[in-house]
């Protein structure tokens, strides 16, 4: 497996400009001849498709929802980072680079992280030009808020709907390109496979989710912008349809999968309340700016939160991390919540919850100020739980949220499969072992607006256009396989629903490959996943057929892939015999319970190669270097 | 809790539809409305019956995917709330609940509770954007925007495109949806150069899609889960009239190649 990262030789601050100077270009008259497939219309996909189409490439774009605007990115709430230094508080490209590297616990490729920080400011410029109505100060200039894990205020936002507004901005650019005929949009269409011809990605096989038709599309390059795989846990903050299918299928066709065990568990979600819960709701991290997190100091506390006096409240983050307090990075906040609950201090009916309390903020700043900041979040919380945060503290608990792992990509965002690119959450790139808040949208849009439109040209310019279409035998073969899988699923005729098998997988993964992992737990999961997979293939029940709309069939296809992928996740978590960022191996912690890295043996990216069905995958390493920022133990205490 | 459900079932766009009756019990008040239907669907599947097809994705009230008329009201009884944000504690135990898809000629039914809302996308494609390429842009703080204006723009921009406004309107008009986009961009300095052309193109497309005309029933505002104000419809009308009075020379698609 070729893991050449294609990082140019240059000082880090000049890498991207140097690289751009040396990239080959495709001329404007030639671009319309090149067909580019973009799968996904979230922030990464919509921005990539719109930007490439505006340059003149012929773009075919796909999403499984009924409209590009409904991609999961729409749900992002809190904001997007950019090193503008509007607050004059010492921000800079270097500071954002530093925060991201440190936040990721030194498990990212420096060159990519620097480029992300460097491009961050232009994303805000681009979005404002599109008409994204960011929050403004009284003087009319852009406003900022702070977010976890950093000491500057660099987060731009639109109330609690930043993802919606940024996505609508990107989708408006996409809409124009659709209208002008430069993008052919295929909604309600799901990717089932990637087609390889002569070692290069040349197209995809899809299923029309309305008619059930299986068909192919050919192109000179394929860009996957299909998001993350948190739904392997069944319960997560992700939209119900989020899946690993596209990246997993690409992996099985030869694309290396990097760091699958890096998944972020978000600390501020509404705790699970019932057996039939289908989805967890995130409460924006911005709440940690004013809310104080605590649990009762004594096990077995029975008083209601309002009756518990100050000395019996354990503000564990403030006590343990005086410098960052409630604003420690997500992995630290989540792990601490789990620890206090494991110690029997949890609150709520399940005892799996901690308080997020606004009492002091309301008395310090007044109802009006707090209302202006959080009114809609408070209302949302009350609607879901029936309790008002104005009167009683919120209850929160960590939930799976974001996946740092993904398809391995080089500096050009190309996977190990030539012609197959991955952008946004689907790739592994910039967040190492833990992502800081408000930085995913930044990465998605940097990838889509500014990086892929340029780097893809370098690849395309080296290859002819229009030399194959879907009549090539490789397409017929891939279509046959896709149809075969669907027929197999429908033929099982067992007794268990997809939903219940997915719930079972989720529980297994949460217990053994969640906030904390151990060798024993991972080995147990590795033994049980194949059993569950067997049950799936022998006892699944899907009602209805392959033609027309069949939502159980769609879900079954996605679960089949999760059931294979989950094993790789656990395998990766097992081999990474260290703790770093969100990957917390119980065997490796400091005396104070912090993640203990092993830089000598694990400062690399783990990249997995698929070697066949029921054959152990092959493991490769991309070594990481730390030149711009020397390795250090993360410290959020002093 | 226990509920008696009457749900619209329709095998495909061409097939005839009818209501089917179901009962679900053992539902806890913490269950969301969609989880209640998930439960029904699991039980139906176990019995070998076809599940009820419905749309949802984010289940947080932001993607605009969920779309059910519940006891005659789009998105059900709670104001400012999408179907996915309803909880069974908002209903009475034993209550009969009738569930239908959005009803509108411009939103053909695909199956059961799923409809085709692509007409909305085509309205946006006809002009719901500011023409900008990706690449270097001017420094945004060189052009301050009154925060009140930005907030008002966001009041319109927060439309989730669910289509409840159309489903609620006796005439099946899409005015609130179109007005929200026209106002979002029309309020901002960035939206000015294409303002008149945009409103004209979007209104024309809206009519072409077969949406009804607005008679000021204001049902749309009442049904809107984002509580978008009908004042934006007034704004659209004013802009549209001005665009008609001062016809602009419309150019073709941007030629960037
Ligand atoms: C509740 C929540 C709040 C968040 N808040 C923030 C925040 O404040 N700041 C921040 O920076 N980040 C935030 N994030 C993270 C961020 O929203 C996501 O990481 C990001 O939006 C991912 O974008 P994407 O473009 O990579 O993928 P997505 O938006 O997930 O889009 C995936 C696209 O791929 C398509 N797709 C997927 N699979 C297939 C398939 N098999 N076939 C065809 N199409 C397919 C989908 O249709 C969709 O269009 C939040 C996430 C959540 C869950
Ligand atoms: S499912 Fe997204 S708004 Fe209801």
Is some CB atom of chain B closer than 8 A to the CB atom of A423? no
Between the CA of B59 and the centroid of ligand 2 the distance, in Å, is: 4
Q: Are A348 and A271 in contact (CB under 8 A)?
A: yes
Confidence of residue A636 (pLDDT cuts 50, 70, 90): confident
Exposed e or buried b per residue across B25-49, where buried means at least 16 C-beta atoms within 10 angstroms of its C-beta = eebbebbbbbbbbbbbbbbbbeeee
Alpha-helical runs (H) found in A346-451: 359-385, 440-445
- Which architecture does CATH list for B117-256? Orthogonal Bundle (1.10)
Q: Which atom of ligand 1 is nearest to the CA of A228?
A: 30
Exposed e or buried b per residue across A482-520, where buried means at least 16 C-beta atoms within 10 angstroms of its C-beta = beebbeebbebeeebbbbebbbbbbebbbebbbbbbeee
**How many angstroms away from the CA of B126 is the closest CA of chain A?**
7
Of B38, B78, B87, the CB nearest to A384: B87
Q: Which helix (H) or strand (E) holds A61?
A: strand A58-62
DSSP letter at A451 equals: I
Task: Look up tokens 């391995």; give the residue.
Answer: A408
Mean pLDDT of A71-97: 96
Task: Look up tokens 């027309």; give the residue.
Answer: A548
- What's the CATH code, domain A266-399? 3.90.700.10
Regarding pTM above 0.95, the answer is yes
- Does A69 contact B51 at a Cβ distance shorter than 8 Å? no
Q: Are A421 and A415 in contact (CB under 8 A)?
A: yes
Confidence of residue A286 (pLDDT cuts 50, 70, 90): confident
Q: What is the percent of chain A where pLDDT is above 90?
A: 91
Q: Are A271 and A291 in contact (CB under 8 A)?
A: no
What pLDDT does A167 receive?
Answer: 98
Mutate to test the pocket of ligand 2, among B64, B158, B163 (most ligand atoms within 8 A of CB): B64
- Does A551 contact B48 at a Cβ distance shorter than 8 Å? no
Is some CB atom of chain B closer than 8 A to the CB atom of A79? no
* Cα–Cα distance for residue pair A618/A89, rounded to 1 Å: 47
Confidence of residue A147 (pLDDT cuts 50, 70, 90): confident
The first and second tokens of residue B183, run together, are 């106002």
Q: Is pLDDT above 90 for A592?
A: no
Between the CA of A207 and the centroid of ligand 2 the distance, in Å, is: 23
Bridge partners (DSSP) of residue A400 are A265
Q: Is pLDDT above 90 for B98?
A: yes
Partners of A56 on chain B (C-beta within 8 Å) are: 256-257
The first and second tokens of residue B234, run together, are 């007034």
Q: Is pLDDT above 80 for A206?
A: yes
Strand A183-186 and strand A58-62: the pairing is parallel
The first and second tokens of residue A257, run together, are 């999968």
Task: Look up tokens 């100020």; give the residue.
Answer: A369
- Does B256 contact A56 at a Cβ distance shorter than 8 Å? yes
Q: What is the percent of chain B where pLDDT is above 70?
A: 96
From the CB of A440, is ligand 1 less than 6 Å away?
yes
* Cα–Cα distance for residue pair A346/A321, rounded to 1 Å: 20
Confidence of residue B159 (pLDDT cuts 50, 70, 90): very high
* Cα–Cα distance for residue pair A186/A166, rounded to 1 Å: 21
Q: What is the percent of chain A where pLDDT is above 70?
A: 100
Q: Is pLDDT above 90 for A146?
A: no
Partners of B102 on chain A (C-beta within 8 Å) are: none
From the CB of A432, is ligand 1 less than 6 Å away?
no
**Closest C-alpha to A38, from A246, A225, A255, A243:** A225
* Cα–Cα distance for residue pair A417/A251, rounded to 1 Å: 9
Q: Which helix (H) or strand (E) holds A572?
A: helix A551-575
Residue B207: CB partners within 8 Å, gap ≥ 6? none
Cα nearest neighbour of B89 on chain A: A386
Measure CA A447 to chain center: 14
Residue-wise pLDDT tens digits, A17-52: 999 999 999 999 999 999 999 999 999 999 999 999
Partners of B256 on chain A (C-beta within 8 Å) are: 54-56
pLDDT, chain A, mean: 96
From the CB of A236, is ligand 1 less than 6 Å away?
no
**How long, in residues, is chain B?**
257
Of A129, A142, A384, the CB nearest to B130: A129
Residue B250: CB partners within 8 Å, gap ≥ 6? B197, B200, B201
Q: Which residue did the predictor score with more confidence, A531 or B256?
A: A531
* Cα–Cα distance for residue pair A589/A279, rounded to 1 Å: 31
- Does B129 contact A172 at a Cβ distance shorter than 8 Å? yes
Q: Are A261 and A572 in contact (CB under 8 A)?
A: yes
Residue-wise pLDDT tens digits, B174-221: 999 999 999 999 999 999 999 999 999 999 999 999 999 999 999 999
Q: Is pLDDT above 80 for B38?
A: yes
Mean pLDDT of A62-90: 96
Q: Which of B11, B59, B140 to mutate to test the interface with A (most CBs of A within 10 A)?
A: B140
Partners of A234 on chain B (C-beta within 8 Å) are: none
Partners of A30 on chain B (C-beta within 8 Å) are: none
Sign of the C-alpha dihedral, residues A571, A574, A579, A583?
positive
* Cα–Cα distance for residue pair B187/B153, rounded to 1 Å: 6
* Cα–Cα distance for residue pair A74/A169, rounded to 1 Å: 11
**How many angstroms away from the CA of B32 is the closest CA of chain A?**
8
- Does A380 contact B131 at a Cβ distance shorter than 8 Å? no
Predicted-complex ipTM score? 0.96
Residue-wise pLDDT tens digits, A525-570: 999 999 999 999 999 999 999 999 999 999 999 999 999 999 999 9
Mean pLDDT of B138-162: 97
Is some CB atom of chain A closer than 8 A to the CB atom of B30? yes
Is some CB atom of chain B closer than 8 A to the CB atom of A339? no
3 state DSSP class of A469: coil
Q: Which of A28, A40, A70 to mutate to test the interface with B (most CBs of B within 10 A)?
A: A70
What pLDDT does B250 receive?
Answer: 57
Q: Which helix (H) or strand (E) holds A41?
A: none
Three-state secondary structure of A581-624: CCECECCCECCCCCECCCHHHHCEEEEEECCCCCCCCEEEEEEC
* Cα–Cα distance for residue pair A543/A538, rounded to 1 Å: 15
- Domain ranges across chain A: 266-399, 477-601
Is some CB atom of chain A closer than 8 A to the CB atom of B114? yes
Between the CA of A444 and the centroid of ligand 1 the distance, in Å, is: 9
From the CB of B178, is ligand 2 less than 6 Å away?
no
Task: Provide the edge-to-edge strand list for the sheet that holds B69-70.
Answer: B18-24, B3-9, B96-100, B69-70, B73-74
Mean pLDDT of A406-423: 98
Q: How many CB pairs under 8 A join A and B?
A: 236
3 state DSSP class of A564: helix
Between the CA of A350 and the centroid of ligand 1 the distance, in Å, is: 30
Q: Which atom of ligand 1 is nearest to the CA of A237?
A: 53
**How many angstroms away from the CA of A292 is the closest CA of chain B?**
24
Confidence of residue B257 (pLDDT cuts 50, 70, 90): very low
What pLDDT does A78 receive?
Answer: 85
What pLDDT does B248 receive?
Answer: 63
Confidence of residue A591 (pLDDT cuts 50, 70, 90): confident
- Does B130 contact A131 at a Cβ distance shorter than 8 Å? yes
Confidence of residue A285 (pLDDT cuts 50, 70, 90): confident
Mean pLDDT of A441-451: 98
Where residue A531 falls (left for φ over 0; alpha for ψ -120 to 50; beta otherwise) is alpha
Strand B69-70 and strand B96-100: the pairing is antiparallel
Q: Is pLDDT above 80 for B26?
A: yes
From the CB of B76, is ligand 2 less than 6 Å away?
no
Between the CA of A238 and the centroid of ligand 1 the distance, in Å, is: 8
- Domain ranges across chain B: 3-110, 117-256
- Does A173 contact B129 at a Cβ distance shorter than 8 Å? yes
Q: Which of A68, A85, A128 to mutate to test the interface with B (most CBs of B within 10 A)?
A: A128
- Does B50 contact A543 at a Cβ distance shorter than 8 Å? yes
Ligand 2 atom 3: the closest Cα is on which residue?
Answer: B61
* Cα–Cα distance for residue pair A186/A204, rounded to 1 Å: 13
Residue A185: CB partners within 8 Å, gap ≥ 6? A61, A68, A174, A178, B121
Confidence of residue A638 (pLDDT cuts 50, 70, 90): low
Between the CA of A565 and the centroid of ligand 1 the distance, in Å, is: 19
Q: Which of residues 183-212 of A touch B (CB under 8 A)?
A: 185, 187, 210
Mean pLDDT of A270-282: 90
Task: Look up tokens 């209903």; give the residue.
Answer: B91
From the CB of A264, is ligand 1 less than 6 Å away?
no
Mean pLDDT of A389-409: 97
Ligand 1 atom 37: the closest Cα is on which residue?
Answer: A226
Q: Is pLDDT above 60 for A161?
A: yes
Strand B3-9 and strand A420-422: the pairing is unpaired
CATH class of A477-601: mainly alpha
Q: Which of residues 42-61 of B touch A (CB under 8 A)?
A: 42, 44-46, 48-51, 53, 55-61
Mean pLDDT check: name the lowest of A372-386, B22-36, B170-184. A372-386
Is some CB atom of chain B closer than 8 A to the CB atom of A376? no
Is some CB atom of chain A closer than 8 A to the CB atom of B21? no
CATH superfamily of B3-110: Beta-grasp domain (3.10.20.30)
């Amino acid at each position: 497996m070729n893991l050449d990262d294609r990082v140019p030789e240059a000082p880090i601050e000049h890498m991207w400009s140097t690289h751009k100077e040396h990239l080959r270009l495709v001329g404007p008259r030639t671009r319309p001849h090149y067909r580019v497939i973009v799968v996904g219309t979230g922030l990464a996909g919509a921005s990539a498709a719109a930007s490439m189409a505006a340059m003149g490439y012929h773009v075919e774009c796909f999403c499984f929802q009924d409209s590009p605007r409904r991609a999961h990115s729409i749900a992002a709430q809190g904001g997007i980072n950019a090193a503008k230094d509007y607050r004059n508080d010492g921000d800079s490209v270097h500071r954002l680079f530093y925060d991201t590297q440190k936040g990721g616990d030194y498990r990212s490729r420096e060159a990519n992280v620097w480029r992300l920080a460097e491009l961050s400011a232009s994303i805000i410029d681009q979005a404002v030009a599109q008409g994204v109505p960011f929050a403004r100060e009284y003087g009319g200039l852009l406003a900022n808020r702070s977010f976890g894990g950093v000491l500057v205020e660099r987060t731009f936002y639109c109330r609690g709907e930043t993802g919606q507004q940024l996505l609508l901005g990107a989708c408006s650019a996409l809409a124009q390109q659709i209208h002008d005929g430069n993008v052919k949009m295929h909604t309600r269409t799901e990717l089932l496979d990637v087609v390889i011809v002569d070692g290069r990605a040349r197209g995809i096989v899809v299923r029309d989710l309305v008619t059930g038709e299986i068909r192919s599309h050919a192109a000179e390059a394929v860009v996957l912008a299909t998001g993350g795989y948190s739904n392997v846990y069944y319960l997560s903050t992700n939209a119900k349809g989020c899946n690993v299918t596209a990246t997993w299928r690409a992996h099985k066709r030869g694309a290396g999968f990097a760091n699958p065990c890096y998944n972020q568990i978000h600390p501020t979600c509404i705790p699970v309340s019932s057996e039939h819960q289908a989805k967890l709701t995130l409460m924006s991290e911005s709440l940690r700016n004013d809310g104080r997190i605590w649990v009762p100091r004594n096990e077995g506390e029975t008083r209601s939160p309002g009756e518990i006096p100050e000395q019996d409240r354990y503000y564990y983050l403030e006590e343990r991390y005086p410098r960052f307090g409630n604003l420690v990075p997500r992995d630290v906040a989540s792990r601490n919540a789990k620890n206090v609950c494991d110690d029997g201090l949890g609150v709520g009916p399940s005892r799996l919850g901690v308080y997020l309390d606004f009492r002091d903020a309301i008395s310090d700043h007044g109802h009006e100020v707090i209302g202006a900041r959080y009114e809609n979040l408070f209302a949302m919380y009350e609607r879901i739980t029936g309790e008002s945060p104005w009167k009683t503290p919120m209850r929160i608990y960590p939930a799976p949220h974001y996946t740092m792992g993904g398809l391995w990509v080089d500096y050009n965002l190309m996977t190990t499969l030539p012609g197959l690119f991955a952008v946004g959450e689907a790739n592994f790139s910039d967040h190492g072992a833990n992502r800081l808040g408000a930085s995913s949208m930044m990465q998605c849009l940097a990838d889509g607006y500014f990086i892929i439109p340029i780097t893809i040209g370098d690849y395309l310019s080296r290859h002819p256009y229009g030399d194959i279409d879907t009549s090539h035998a490789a397409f017929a073969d891939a279509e046959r396989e896709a149809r075969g899988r669907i027929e197999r699923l429908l033929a099982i005729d067992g007794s268990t629903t997809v939903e219940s098998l997915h719930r079972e997988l989720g529980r297994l993964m949460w217990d053994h490959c969640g906030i904390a992992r151990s060798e024993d737990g991972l080995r147990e999961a590795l033994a049980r996943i194949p059993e569950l997979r067997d049950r799936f293939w022998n006892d699944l029940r899907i009602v209805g057929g392959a033609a027309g709309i069949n939502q159980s069939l769609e879900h079954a296809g996605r679960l089949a892939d999760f059931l294979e992928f989950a094993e790789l996740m656990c395998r990766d978590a097992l081999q990474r015999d260290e703790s770093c960022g969100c990957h917390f191996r119980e065997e490796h912690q400091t005396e104070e319970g912090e993640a203990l890295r092993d830089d000598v043996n694990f400062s690399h990216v783990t990249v997995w190669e698929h070697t066949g069905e029921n054959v152990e995958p092959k493991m490769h390493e991309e070594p990481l270097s730390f030149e711009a920022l020397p390795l250090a133990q993360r410290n959020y205490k002093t | 809790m226990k509920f008696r459900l009457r749900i619209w079932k329709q095998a495909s766009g061409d097939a005839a539809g009818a209501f089917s009756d179901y009962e679900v019990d053992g539902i806890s008040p913490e269950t969301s409305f969609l989880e209640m239907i998930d439960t029904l669907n699991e039980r139906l599947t176990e019995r070998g019956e076809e599940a009820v097809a419905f749309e949802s994705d984010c289940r947080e009230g932001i993607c605009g995917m969920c779309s059910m008329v519940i006891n005659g009201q789009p998105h059900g009884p709670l104001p400012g709330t999408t179907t996915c944000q309803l909880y069974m504690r908002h209903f009475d135990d034993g209550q009969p609940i009738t569930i239908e898809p959005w009803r509108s000629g411009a939103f053909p039914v695909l199956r059961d509770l799923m409809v085709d809302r692509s007409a909305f996308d085509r309205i946006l494609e006809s002009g719901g954007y500011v023409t900008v390429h990706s690449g270097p842009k001017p420094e945004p703080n060189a052009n301050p925007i009154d925060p009140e204006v930005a907030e008002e723009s966001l009041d319109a921009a927060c439309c989730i495109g669910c289509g409840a406004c159309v489903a609620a309107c006796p005439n099946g008009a899409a005015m609130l949806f179109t007005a929200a986009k026209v106002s979002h961009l029309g309020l901002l300095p960035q939206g000015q150069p294409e303002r008149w052309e945009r409103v004209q193109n979007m209104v024309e497309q809206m009519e072409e899609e077969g949406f009804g005309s607005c008679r000021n029933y204001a049902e749309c505002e009442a049904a809107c889960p984002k509580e978008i104000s009908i004042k934006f419809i007034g704004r659209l009308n004013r802009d549209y009239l001005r665009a008609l009075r001062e016809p602009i020379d419309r150019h073709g698609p941007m030629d960037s190649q």
